[in-house]
Structure 1
Protein backbone atom coordinates (compact mmCIF):
# COMPACT_ATOMS: atom_id res chain seq x y z
CA UNK A 1 0.00 0.00 0.00
CA UNK A 2 1.08 3.59 -0.61
CA UNK A 3 1.92 5.09 2.78
CA UNK A 4 1.04 8.72 3.51
CA UNK A 5 1.56 10.87 6.60
CA UNK A 6 -2.14 10.69 7.48
CA UNK A 7 -2.19 6.89 7.17
CA UNK A 8 0.95 6.59 9.26
CA UNK A 9 -0.45 8.98 11.87
CA UNK A 10 -3.54 6.79 12.21
CA UNK A 11 -1.46 3.61 12.50
CA UNK A 12 0.70 5.14 15.23
CA UNK A 13 -2.34 6.42 17.15
CA UNK A 14 -3.78 2.90 17.17
CA UNK A 15 -0.54 1.19 18.14
CA UNK A 16 0.41 3.71 20.82
CA UNK A 17 -2.95 3.99 22.53
CA UNK A 18 -2.26 4.35 26.26
CA UNK A 19 -4.35 6.08 28.96
CA UNK A 20 -1.32 8.06 30.24
CA UNK A 21 -0.01 9.15 26.83
CA UNK A 22 -1.24 11.89 24.52
CA UNK A 23 -0.51 12.27 20.81
CA UNK A 24 -0.47 15.23 18.45
CA UNK A 25 0.15 15.83 14.76
CA UNK A 26 1.91 18.90 13.35
CA UNK A 27 0.72 19.22 9.76
CA UNK A 28 3.18 22.03 8.89
CA UNK A 29 6.25 20.13 10.08
CA UNK A 30 4.83 16.70 9.16
CA UNK A 31 5.66 15.35 12.62
CA UNK A 32 3.87 13.12 15.12
CA UNK A 33 4.46 13.51 18.85
CA UNK A 34 3.66 11.17 21.69
CA UNK A 35 4.23 12.15 25.31
CA UNK A 36 3.35 11.45 28.91
CA UNK A 37 0.31 13.54 29.89
CA UNK A 38 1.75 14.50 33.29
CA UNK A 39 5.41 15.26 32.62
CA UNK A 40 5.07 16.25 28.93
CA UNK A 41 8.17 14.18 28.24
CA UNK A 42 7.97 12.40 24.94
CA UNK A 43 9.19 11.77 21.42
CA UNK A 44 8.66 13.59 18.14
CA UNK A 45 8.70 11.47 14.98
CA UNK A 46 9.41 12.96 11.54
CA UNK A 47 6.87 11.08 9.43
CA UNK A 48 8.51 11.36 5.95
CA UNK A 49 11.62 9.64 7.36
CA UNK A 50 9.52 6.72 8.59
CA UNK A 51 7.67 6.54 5.26
CA UNK A 52 11.02 6.29 3.44
CA UNK A 53 12.01 3.38 5.67
CA UNK A 54 8.57 1.79 5.22
CA UNK A 55 9.05 1.86 1.45
CA UNK A 56 12.35 0.01 1.89
CA UNK A 57 11.50 -2.40 4.68
CA UNK A 58 7.71 -2.57 4.81
CA UNK A 59 5.82 -3.27 8.04
CA UNK A 60 9.04 -4.02 9.95
CA UNK A 61 9.95 -0.33 9.84
CA UNK A 62 6.77 0.52 11.77
CA UNK A 63 7.26 -2.42 14.15
CA UNK A 64 10.77 -1.17 14.97
CA UNK A 65 9.54 2.38 15.47
CA UNK A 66 6.76 1.22 17.81
CA UNK A 67 9.25 -0.80 19.86
CA UNK A 68 11.73 2.08 20.19
CA UNK A 69 9.01 4.58 21.13
CA UNK A 70 7.57 2.33 23.83
CA UNK A 71 11.04 1.57 25.24
CA UNK A 72 12.00 5.25 25.30
CA UNK A 73 8.74 6.36 26.89
CA UNK A 74 8.97 3.75 29.62
CA UNK A 75 12.53 4.89 30.45
CA UNK A 76 11.45 8.53 30.63
CA UNK A 77 9.05 7.64 33.41
CA UNK A 78 11.63 5.78 35.50
CA UNK A 79 14.11 7.11 38.06
CA UNK A 80 17.67 5.94 37.42
CA UNK A 81 20.62 6.04 39.80
CA UNK A 82 24.21 6.35 38.61
CA UNK A 83 25.93 4.98 41.72
CA UNK A 84 26.72 1.31 41.23
CA UNK A 85 26.24 1.59 37.47
CA UNK A 86 29.57 3.21 36.64
CA UNK A 87 30.44 0.50 34.08
CA UNK A 88 27.30 1.38 32.12
CA UNK A 89 28.05 5.08 31.52
CA UNK A 90 29.22 5.91 28.00
CA UNK A 91 29.81 9.01 25.89
CA UNK A 92 27.54 9.36 22.88
CA UNK A 93 28.20 11.65 19.93
CA UNK A 94 25.50 13.99 18.65
CA UNK A 95 25.25 16.83 16.15
CA UNK A 96 25.70 20.31 17.60
CA UNK A 97 22.06 20.94 16.63
CA UNK A 98 20.91 18.21 19.04
CA UNK A 99 18.70 19.69 21.82
CA UNK A 100 20.49 20.48 25.06
CA UNK A 101 17.21 20.45 26.99
CA UNK A 102 14.40 17.92 27.16
CA UNK A 103 10.86 18.99 26.27
CA UNK A 104 10.16 19.17 29.98
CA UNK A 105 13.05 21.60 30.51
CA UNK A 106 15.69 19.27 31.98
CA UNK A 107 19.20 20.33 30.99
CA UNK A 108 21.36 17.61 29.46
CA UNK A 109 25.01 17.41 30.42
CA UNK A 110 27.45 17.59 27.52
CA UNK A 111 30.98 18.47 26.44
CA UNK A 112 31.93 20.41 23.30
CA UNK A 113 33.83 18.25 20.82
CA UNK A 114 34.23 19.68 17.30
CA UNK A 115 32.49 22.37 15.24
CA UNK A 116 30.09 19.63 14.07
CA UNK A 117 29.75 17.38 17.10
CA UNK A 118 29.03 17.44 20.81
CA UNK A 119 29.47 14.72 23.45
CA UNK A 120 26.46 13.75 25.56
CA UNK A 121 26.52 11.00 28.18
CA UNK A 122 24.34 7.92 28.40
CA UNK A 123 23.40 5.44 31.10
CA UNK A 124 23.18 2.13 29.27
CA UNK A 125 20.09 0.12 30.22
CA UNK A 126 20.62 -2.93 28.04
CA UNK A 127 18.24 -2.67 25.11
CA UNK A 128 18.28 1.11 25.26
CA UNK A 129 19.84 3.99 27.20
CA UNK A 130 18.98 7.24 28.96
CA UNK A 131 20.88 10.47 28.34
CA UNK A 132 22.16 11.90 31.63
CA UNK A 133 20.80 15.27 32.73
CA UNK A 134 21.85 17.77 35.39
CA UNK A 135 19.09 16.61 37.74
CA UNK A 136 20.55 13.07 37.81
CA UNK A 137 23.99 14.46 38.67
CA UNK A 138 22.69 16.73 41.42
CA UNK A 139 20.66 13.93 42.99
CA UNK A 140 23.87 11.99 43.64
CA UNK A 141 26.24 14.96 43.96
CA UNK A 142 28.30 13.86 40.97
CA UNK A 143 30.30 16.26 38.80
CA UNK A 144 30.56 16.47 35.02
CA UNK A 145 34.30 15.72 35.37
CA UNK A 146 33.49 12.42 37.05
CA UNK A 147 31.13 11.46 34.21
CA UNK A 148 33.78 12.47 31.66
CA UNK A 149 36.45 10.30 33.31
CA UNK A 150 34.20 7.25 33.78
CA UNK A 151 32.79 7.40 30.24
CA UNK A 152 36.25 7.92 28.68
CA UNK A 153 37.50 4.81 30.46
CA UNK A 154 34.43 2.79 29.40
CA UNK A 155 34.63 3.76 25.73
CA UNK A 156 38.24 2.51 25.64
CA UNK A 157 36.99 -0.86 26.91
CA UNK A 158 34.69 -1.34 23.90
CA UNK A 159 35.78 -3.65 21.08
CA UNK A 160 37.76 -2.09 18.25
CA UNK A 161 37.28 -4.78 15.60
CA UNK A 162 37.22 -2.98 12.26
CA UNK A 163 36.09 -4.33 8.91
CA UNK A 164 38.46 -3.44 6.06
CA UNK A 165 37.65 -2.57 2.46
CA UNK A 166 40.05 -1.35 -0.24
CA UNK A 167 38.59 0.95 -2.90
CA UNK A 168 40.64 2.61 -5.66
CA UNK A 169 43.87 2.06 -3.67
CA UNK A 170 42.42 3.66 -0.53
CA UNK A 171 41.84 1.76 2.71
CA UNK A 172 38.50 2.10 4.49
CA UNK A 173 37.78 0.68 7.94
CA UNK A 174 34.31 0.32 9.44
CA UNK A 175 33.06 -0.10 12.99
CA UNK A 176 29.44 -1.24 13.07
CA UNK A 177 29.04 -3.43 16.15
CA UNK A 178 25.44 -2.22 16.70
CA UNK A 179 26.05 -1.72 20.42
CA UNK A 180 24.82 1.88 20.20
CA UNK A 181 28.30 3.39 20.65
CA UNK A 182 30.02 2.85 17.29
CA UNK A 183 30.42 6.59 16.65
CA UNK A 184 31.66 7.00 20.25
CA UNK A 185 34.83 5.14 19.29
CA UNK A 186 35.97 8.42 17.74
CA UNK A 187 36.79 9.35 21.37
CA UNK A 188 39.19 6.40 21.73
CA UNK A 189 42.40 8.32 21.17
CA UNK A 190 44.64 5.24 21.35
CA UNK A 191 42.65 3.67 18.48
CA UNK A 192 42.98 6.82 16.35
CA UNK A 193 46.69 7.15 17.12
CA UNK A 194 47.28 3.51 16.16
CA UNK A 195 45.41 4.01 12.87
CA UNK A 196 47.38 7.20 12.20
CA UNK A 197 50.69 5.49 12.91
CA UNK A 198 49.88 2.70 10.45
CA UNK A 199 48.35 4.88 7.73
CA UNK A 200 50.06 5.27 4.36
CA UNK A 201 48.33 8.54 3.47
CA UNK A 202 46.15 11.05 5.31
CA UNK A 203 43.80 9.75 7.98
CA UNK A 204 40.17 10.84 7.77
CA UNK A 205 37.36 9.87 10.12
CA UNK A 206 33.58 10.08 9.74
CA UNK A 207 30.66 9.62 12.14
CA UNK A 208 27.65 10.02 9.81
CA UNK A 209 25.32 8.42 12.36
CA UNK A 210 25.38 6.89 15.81
CA UNK A 211 25.82 3.30 14.64
CA UNK A 212 28.88 3.60 12.43
CA UNK A 213 32.47 4.85 12.54
CA UNK A 214 34.43 5.16 9.29
CA UNK A 215 38.22 5.49 9.31
CA UNK A 216 39.82 6.16 5.94
CA UNK A 217 43.47 5.95 4.94
CA UNK A 218 43.31 8.34 1.97
CA UNK A 219 46.08 7.73 -0.54
CA UNK A 220 44.83 9.59 -3.63
CA UNK A 221 42.30 12.27 -4.60
CA UNK A 222 39.68 9.68 -5.53
CA UNK A 223 39.72 8.53 -1.92
CA UNK A 224 38.24 11.85 -0.80
CA UNK A 225 35.38 11.57 -3.30
CA UNK A 226 34.62 8.01 -2.19
CA UNK A 227 34.64 9.02 1.48
CA UNK A 228 32.32 11.98 0.78
CA UNK A 229 29.80 9.78 -1.06
CA UNK A 230 30.00 7.07 1.59
CA UNK A 231 29.51 9.52 4.47
CA UNK A 232 26.53 11.19 2.81
CA UNK A 233 24.87 7.83 2.15
CA UNK A 234 25.28 6.67 5.77
CA UNK A 235 24.14 10.07 7.06
CA UNK A 236 20.91 9.85 5.05
CA UNK A 237 20.18 6.32 6.30
CA UNK A 238 21.01 6.70 10.00
CA UNK A 239 18.43 6.46 12.76
CA UNK A 240 20.40 9.04 14.76
CA UNK A 241 22.26 11.10 12.12
CA UNK A 242 25.28 13.12 13.30
CA UNK A 243 27.21 14.83 10.48
CA UNK A 244 27.82 14.36 6.76
CA UNK A 245 31.20 16.11 7.04
CA UNK A 246 34.26 13.89 7.59
CA UNK A 247 37.24 14.99 9.69
CA UNK A 248 40.95 15.02 9.00
CA UNK A 249 42.90 13.61 11.96
CA UNK A 250 46.23 15.32 12.55
CA UNK A 251 48.21 16.01 15.75
CA UNK A 252 45.44 14.42 17.85
CA UNK A 253 42.93 16.93 16.49
CA UNK A 254 39.81 16.50 14.34
CA UNK A 255 39.20 19.11 11.67
CA UNK A 256 35.85 19.03 9.81
CA UNK A 257 36.39 19.22 6.05
CA UNK A 258 34.37 19.91 2.94
CA UNK A 259 35.28 17.52 0.15
CA UNK A 260 34.98 19.02 -3.30
CA UNK A 261 34.50 16.54 -6.16
CA UNK A 262 37.78 15.78 -7.92
CA UNK A 263 39.62 18.06 -5.50
CA UNK A 264 41.46 17.94 -2.22
CA UNK A 265 39.41 18.84 0.86
CA UNK A 266 39.22 22.30 2.32
CA UNK A 267 39.01 23.05 6.02
CA UNK A 268 35.65 24.27 7.29
CA UNK A 269 35.85 27.92 8.35
Structure 2
Protein backbone atom coordinates (compact mmCIF):
# COMPACT_ATOMS: atom_id res chain seq x y z
CA UNK A 1 0.00 0.00 0.00
CA UNK A 2 1.20 3.57 -0.54
CA UNK A 3 0.77 6.63 1.62
CA UNK A 4 -1.06 8.65 -1.02
CA UNK A 5 -3.91 6.14 -0.82
CA UNK A 6 -4.62 7.18 2.76
CA UNK A 7 -6.03 10.70 2.62
CA UNK A 8 -6.47 12.73 5.77
CA UNK A 9 -9.99 13.75 6.68
CA UNK A 10 -11.66 16.08 9.16
CA UNK A 11 -11.33 13.29 11.70
CA UNK A 12 -8.09 11.58 10.61
CA UNK A 13 -4.82 13.53 10.49
CA UNK A 14 -1.49 12.21 9.25
CA UNK A 15 1.25 12.43 11.88
CA UNK A 16 3.90 10.21 10.33
CA UNK A 17 3.88 9.41 6.61
CA UNK A 18 5.49 6.28 5.24
CA UNK A 19 5.97 5.56 1.52
CA UNK A 20 5.05 1.88 1.89
CA UNK A 21 3.62 1.23 5.36
CA UNK A 22 3.21 -2.30 6.59
CA UNK A 23 0.85 -0.99 9.29
CA UNK A 24 -1.12 2.20 9.84
CA UNK A 25 -1.46 3.08 13.53
CA UNK A 26 -4.41 5.34 14.36
CA UNK A 27 -4.18 7.13 17.72
CA UNK A 28 -7.11 8.43 19.78
CA UNK A 29 -6.31 11.34 22.16
CA UNK A 30 -7.24 11.49 25.84
CA UNK A 31 -10.02 13.73 27.13
CA UNK A 32 -9.39 17.39 26.35
CA UNK A 33 -6.63 16.38 23.96
CA UNK A 34 -5.98 16.70 20.25
CA UNK A 35 -3.87 15.01 17.58
CA UNK A 36 -0.92 17.02 18.88
CA UNK A 37 -0.80 14.67 21.88
CA UNK A 38 0.86 12.06 19.65
CA UNK A 39 3.33 14.08 17.57
CA UNK A 40 6.32 13.09 19.68
CA UNK A 41 5.29 9.42 19.80
CA UNK A 42 4.70 9.32 16.02
CA UNK A 43 8.28 10.45 15.37
CA UNK A 44 9.65 7.45 17.25
CA UNK A 45 8.36 4.83 14.83
CA UNK A 46 10.61 3.44 12.13
CA UNK A 47 10.07 2.51 8.51
CA UNK A 48 6.97 0.47 7.86
CA UNK A 49 4.62 2.28 10.23
CA UNK A 50 2.47 5.26 9.25
CA UNK A 51 0.73 7.10 12.08
CA UNK A 52 -2.54 9.03 12.04
CA UNK A 53 -4.26 10.85 14.88
CA UNK A 54 -7.96 11.44 15.44
CA UNK A 55 -9.03 15.06 15.78
CA UNK A 56 -12.14 15.40 17.92
CA UNK A 57 -14.42 18.41 17.30
CA UNK A 58 -14.37 21.48 19.54
CA UNK A 59 -10.60 22.03 19.67
CA UNK A 60 -7.75 23.51 17.64
CA UNK A 61 -8.76 23.78 13.97
CA UNK A 62 -12.12 22.18 14.82
CA UNK A 63 -12.93 24.74 17.51
CA UNK A 64 -16.07 25.81 15.67
CA UNK A 65 -17.40 22.29 15.13
CA UNK A 66 -20.22 21.18 17.46
CA UNK A 67 -18.92 19.11 20.38
CA UNK A 68 -19.79 15.41 20.57
CA UNK A 69 -20.60 14.41 24.16
CA UNK A 70 -20.88 10.64 23.52
CA UNK A 71 -17.97 8.23 23.16
CA UNK A 72 -19.94 5.95 20.87
CA UNK A 73 -20.74 8.82 18.53
CA UNK A 74 -17.06 9.80 18.36
CA UNK A 75 -16.28 6.17 17.54
CA UNK A 76 -18.92 6.09 14.84
CA UNK A 77 -17.42 9.06 13.02
CA UNK A 78 -13.89 7.66 13.22
CA UNK A 79 -14.98 4.20 12.10
CA UNK A 80 -16.80 5.61 9.07
CA UNK A 81 -13.59 7.24 7.83
CA UNK A 82 -11.46 4.18 8.61
CA UNK A 83 -13.84 1.89 6.73
CA UNK A 84 -13.47 4.16 3.69
CA UNK A 85 -9.73 3.40 3.50
CA UNK A 86 -8.55 0.73 1.00
CA UNK A 87 -9.18 -2.80 2.17
CA UNK A 88 -5.49 -3.74 2.05
CA UNK A 89 -4.65 -1.33 4.88
CA UNK A 90 -3.26 -3.21 7.88
CA UNK A 91 -4.90 -1.18 10.63
CA UNK A 92 -3.87 -0.92 14.29
CA UNK A 93 -5.55 1.32 16.85
CA UNK A 94 -4.18 3.03 19.96
CA UNK A 95 -5.99 5.12 22.55
CA UNK A 96 -5.05 6.68 25.87
CA UNK A 97 -7.45 7.40 28.75
CA UNK A 98 -10.79 8.45 27.23
CA UNK A 99 -9.22 7.67 23.88
CA UNK A 100 -8.82 4.02 24.87
CA UNK A 101 -12.57 3.58 25.21
CA UNK A 102 -13.21 5.46 21.96
CA UNK A 103 -10.58 3.27 20.28
CA UNK A 104 -12.31 0.13 21.56
CA UNK A 105 -15.73 1.29 20.37
CA UNK A 106 -14.18 2.18 17.01
CA UNK A 107 -12.63 -1.28 16.72
CA UNK A 108 -16.07 -2.82 17.36
CA UNK A 109 -17.52 -0.80 14.50
CA UNK A 110 -14.65 -1.53 12.15
CA UNK A 111 -15.01 -5.26 12.78
CA UNK A 112 -18.78 -5.01 12.32
CA UNK A 113 -18.06 -3.31 8.98
CA UNK A 114 -16.19 -6.39 7.82
CA UNK A 115 -12.64 -5.19 8.37
CA UNK A 116 -9.90 -6.62 10.54
CA UNK A 117 -8.00 -4.66 13.15
CA UNK A 118 -4.47 -5.97 13.54
CA UNK A 119 -4.09 -4.86 17.15
CA UNK A 120 -5.82 -2.67 19.73
CA UNK A 121 -3.71 -0.82 22.32
CA UNK A 122 -5.62 0.58 25.29
CA UNK A 123 -3.65 2.83 27.63
CA UNK A 124 -4.43 4.30 31.04
CA UNK A 125 -8.07 3.25 31.11
CA UNK A 126 -10.11 0.56 32.92
CA UNK A 127 -11.98 -2.00 30.83
CA UNK A 128 -15.30 -0.84 29.32
CA UNK A 129 -17.45 -2.33 32.09
CA UNK A 130 -16.08 0.37 34.41
CA UNK A 131 -18.55 3.16 35.12
CA UNK A 132 -17.30 6.53 36.33
CA UNK A 133 -18.93 7.62 39.58
CA UNK A 134 -17.95 11.29 39.30
CA UNK A 135 -19.90 14.10 37.70
CA UNK A 136 -17.18 16.66 37.06
CA UNK A 137 -18.87 17.69 33.82
CA UNK A 138 -21.80 19.05 35.86
CA UNK A 139 -19.62 21.02 38.28
CA UNK A 140 -17.69 24.30 38.20
CA UNK A 141 -14.56 24.98 36.14
CA UNK A 142 -12.51 24.78 39.33
CA UNK A 143 -13.28 21.08 39.61
CA UNK A 144 -12.15 20.39 36.05
CA UNK A 145 -8.93 22.35 36.56
CA UNK A 146 -8.21 20.53 39.81
CA UNK A 147 -8.67 17.17 38.07
CA UNK A 148 -6.36 18.18 35.24
CA UNK A 149 -3.76 19.18 37.83
CA UNK A 150 -4.17 15.87 39.64
CA UNK A 151 -3.44 13.88 36.49
CA UNK A 152 -0.80 16.11 34.91
CA UNK A 153 2.91 15.34 34.96
CA UNK A 154 3.42 19.08 35.59
CA UNK A 155 0.50 20.57 37.58
CA UNK A 156 2.03 24.04 37.24
CA UNK A 157 1.36 23.92 33.50
CA UNK A 158 -2.37 23.60 34.22
CA UNK A 159 -2.60 26.37 36.80
CA UNK A 160 -2.42 28.97 34.04
CA UNK A 161 -6.08 28.19 33.39
CA UNK A 162 -6.88 29.89 36.70
CA UNK A 163 -4.85 32.97 35.82
CA UNK A 164 -5.88 33.32 32.17
CA UNK A 165 -9.70 33.32 31.86
CA UNK A 166 -9.48 33.74 28.09
CA UNK A 167 -7.41 30.59 27.76
CA UNK A 168 -9.74 28.71 30.08
CA UNK A 169 -12.69 29.77 27.92
CA UNK A 170 -10.98 28.16 24.92
CA UNK A 171 -9.79 24.97 26.61
CA UNK A 172 -12.39 23.99 29.19
CA UNK A 173 -15.48 23.55 26.98
CA UNK A 174 -13.82 20.61 25.19
CA UNK A 175 -12.61 19.22 28.52
CA UNK A 176 -16.12 19.44 29.95
CA UNK A 177 -17.64 17.76 26.89
CA UNK A 178 -15.12 14.94 27.09
CA UNK A 179 -15.72 14.40 30.81
CA UNK A 180 -19.43 14.25 30.09
CA UNK A 181 -18.77 11.62 27.43
CA UNK A 182 -16.65 9.54 29.83
CA UNK A 183 -18.92 9.93 32.85
CA UNK A 184 -22.08 8.99 30.95
CA UNK A 185 -20.59 6.08 28.98
CA UNK A 186 -22.23 2.71 29.57
CA UNK A 187 -20.93 -0.35 27.80
CA UNK A 188 -23.42 -2.17 25.60
CA UNK A 189 -22.88 -5.92 25.81
CA UNK A 190 -21.90 -7.62 22.58
CA UNK A 191 -19.52 -10.15 21.08
CA UNK A 192 -15.88 -9.73 22.12
CA UNK A 193 -13.42 -8.44 19.57
CA UNK A 194 -11.44 -10.79 17.35
CA UNK A 195 -8.56 -8.32 17.69
CA UNK A 196 -5.56 -8.89 19.99
CA UNK A 197 -5.51 -6.35 22.83
CA UNK A 198 -2.57 -4.92 24.74
CA UNK A 199 -3.42 -2.94 27.87
CA UNK A 200 -0.79 -0.36 28.85
CA UNK A 201 -0.68 1.08 32.35
CA UNK A 202 1.70 3.05 34.53
CA UNK A 203 2.99 2.42 38.03
CA UNK A 204 1.39 5.49 39.65
CA UNK A 205 -1.82 6.08 37.70
CA UNK A 206 -4.67 7.02 40.08
CA UNK A 207 -7.27 6.21 37.41
CA UNK A 208 -6.43 2.62 36.50
CA UNK A 209 -5.28 -0.32 38.60
CA UNK A 210 -3.57 -3.45 37.33
CA UNK A 211 -6.74 -5.46 38.04
CA UNK A 212 -8.90 -2.98 36.10
CA UNK A 213 -6.53 -3.06 33.15
CA UNK A 214 -6.43 -6.85 33.29
CA UNK A 215 -10.19 -7.00 32.72
CA UNK A 216 -9.57 -5.95 29.11
CA UNK A 217 -8.70 -9.62 28.44
CA UNK A 218 -12.44 -10.38 28.60
CA UNK A 219 -13.07 -8.16 25.57
CA UNK A 220 -11.21 -10.22 22.98
CA UNK A 221 -11.16 -13.81 21.79
CA UNK A 222 -7.59 -13.23 20.60
CA UNK A 223 -4.36 -12.70 22.52
CA UNK A 224 -4.09 -10.32 25.45
CA UNK A 225 -1.04 -8.70 26.98
CA UNK A 226 -0.44 -6.22 29.79
CA UNK A 227 2.53 -3.84 29.90
CA UNK A 228 3.53 -1.47 32.71
CA UNK A 229 5.56 1.74 32.49
CA UNK A 230 6.93 4.00 35.21
CA UNK A 231 5.06 7.24 35.84
CA UNK A 232 1.62 8.69 36.39
CA UNK A 233 -1.49 8.90 34.25
CA UNK A 234 0.34 10.67 31.42
CA UNK A 235 3.38 8.39 31.54
CA UNK A 236 3.45 8.34 27.73
CA UNK A 237 4.42 12.04 27.62
CA UNK A 238 7.58 11.50 29.67
CA UNK A 239 10.70 11.64 27.46
CA UNK A 240 12.08 8.46 29.00
CA UNK A 241 8.93 6.52 28.05
CA UNK A 242 8.20 7.72 24.52
CA UNK A 243 10.73 5.52 22.72
CA UNK A 244 10.02 2.56 24.99
CA UNK A 245 6.29 2.85 24.20
CA UNK A 246 6.92 3.07 20.45
CA UNK A 247 9.22 0.05 20.65
CA UNK A 248 6.63 -1.91 22.63
CA UNK A 249 3.95 -1.15 20.04
CA UNK A 250 6.30 -2.03 17.18
CA UNK A 251 7.12 -5.41 18.72
CA UNK A 252 3.43 -6.20 19.19
CA UNK A 253 2.67 -5.21 15.60
CA UNK A 254 5.46 -7.48 14.34
CA UNK A 255 3.71 -10.52 15.79
CA UNK A 256 0.06 -9.37 15.66
CA UNK A 257 -2.36 -11.66 13.96
CA UNK A 258 -6.11 -10.82 14.03
CA UNK A 259 -8.23 -13.66 15.32
CA UNK A 260 -5.31 -15.51 16.92
CA UNK A 261 -6.87 -17.39 19.82
CA UNK A 262 -5.91 -17.13 23.46
Q: Normalised by the size of structure 1, how large is the TM-score? A: 0.25
Instruction: With a CA cutoff of 8 Å and minimum separation of 6, indicate the structure with the bigger relative contact order.
Output: 2
Higher gyration radius (CA): 1
Q: Which has the higher helix share?
A: 2
Q: Which has the higher strand share?
A: 1
